[in-house]
A and B are shown apart, each in its own frame.
Chain A
Amino acid sequence: MKTRLGERIGVRALAFFLLAVSSAVGGLCLFGTLWCETCNWYANRKAESYFETEAFYGEVERDIRQIVQMAGCYGFTLETEEQYSSNSSNFTYRLWRLDENNPEAEGELISSTYTETSPSVTGSEIIRASDLGYLDPIAEDEANALYRVDWIVDGTLPVGDSYYYEYLLFVSLYDERYYLPVIAAVGLALSLGLLIFLLWNAGRAPGGQRNAGPAGFLPLEAYLLLTVGGGILCLSLMANGAQNILGTALWLLGLWGAFLFFTDALMGVCARARAGVLFRHSLSGAILRWVWRLVRGFCRWLRDSFAALPLVWVAMMGGVCVLLGETILTLLAFTSYEFFFLLLWLGAQVLLLAVLCRFFSGLYQLRLVSRKMAQGDLSVRVPAKKLWGPLREQGEDLNRISEGMSAAVDERLRSERFKTDLITNVSHDLKTPLTSIINYVDLLQKEALEPQAAEYASVIARQGQRLKKLTEDLVEASKASSGSLPVNAEPTDLAELLTQAVGEYAPRLEKSNLEPVLQLPGEPVWSMLDGRLTWRVVDNLLSNACKYSQPGTRVYVEAEQRAGRAWLRVKNISRQQLNIPADELMERFVRGDASRTTEGSGLGLNIARSLAELQNGEFGLIIDGDLFKAWASFPLSAPPVREEPPEATAGLSCSPDSAPIPLTT
Chain B
Amino acid sequence: MYNILICDDDADIRAALKIYLSGEGYTLFEAENGAQALEIAAREPLHLILLDVMMPAMDGIAVTARLRQTSNVPIILLTAKSEDSDKVLGLNVGADDYVTKPFNPVELLARIKSQLRRYAQLGGMPDAGGHRLQVGGVCLDDETKTVTVDGAPIALTPIEYNILRLLMQNPGRVYSSTQIYELVWNEPALGSESAVAVHIRHLREKIEIDPSQPRYLKVVWGLGYKMEKGV
Contacts and interface: CB of A to CB of B under 8 A. Distances in A.
Contact of B10 (A432, A440, A472, A535): A432
Interface in A342-380: none
B16 A439 contact: yes
A654 B191 CA distance: 21
Interface string A90-122: 000000000000000000000000000000000
Interface stretch (B29-37, B117-125, B176-184): B176-184
Contacts of A507: 201
A324 B102 CA distance: 87
A242 B63 CA distance: 124
A646 interface: yes
B186 interface: yes
Interface stretch (B42-50, B90-98, B166-174): B166-174
A664 B145 contact: yes
Given A432-B10, A531-B223, A534-B222, A660 B158 contact: yes
Contacts of B178: 496
Q: Which size bracket describes the interface of B in this complex?
A: 35 or more
Interface in A407-454: 428-429, 431-432, 434-440, 442-443
A665 B17 CA distance: 32
A661 B102 contact: no
Contacts of A646: 170, 173, 175, 179, 183
Interface stretch (A78-86, A226-234, A498-506, A545-553): A498-506
B222 A506 contact: no
A492 interface: yes
A434 B102 CA distance: 6
A496 B222 contact: yes
A499 B184 CA distance: 17
A296 interface: no
Contact of A468 (B102, B156, B170, B173): B102
Contact of A432 (B13, B157, B221, B222): B13
Interface string B133-173: 10000000010111000000111111101100110011001
A570 to B, nearest CB: 15
Given A472-B82, A503-B201, A436 B16 contact: yes
Nearest to A507: B201
A475 interface: yes
Contacts of B223: 492-493, 496, 531
B186 A431 contact: no
B229 interface: no
A461 to B, nearest CB: 11
Contacts of B222: 492-494, 496-497, 500, 529, 531, 534-535
Contacts of B20: 439, 443
A656 interface: yes
Given A493-B222, A663-B158, A651 B177 contact: no
Contacts of A658: 158, 162
B16 A443 contact: yes
B141 to A, nearest CB: 10
A494 B19 CA distance: 47
A649 interface: yes
15 contacts: A434-B101, A435-B10, A435-B102, A442-B105, A443-B16, A443-B20, A475-B82, A493-B176, A645-B179, A652-B165, A657-B186, A659-B158, A661-B158, A662-B145, A663-B146
The 5 closest A-B pairs by CB, nearest first: A503-B197, A531-B221, A492-B222, A660-B158, A497-B222
Given A652-B165, A663-B156, 20 more contacts: A428-B54, A432-B80, A435-B13, A436-B10, A436-B13, A436-B16, A499-B193, A499-B196, A501-B221, A503-B196, A504-B219, A506-B197, A531-B221, A649-B170, A654-B166, A654-B184, A657-B186, A661-B158, A663-B146, A665-B154
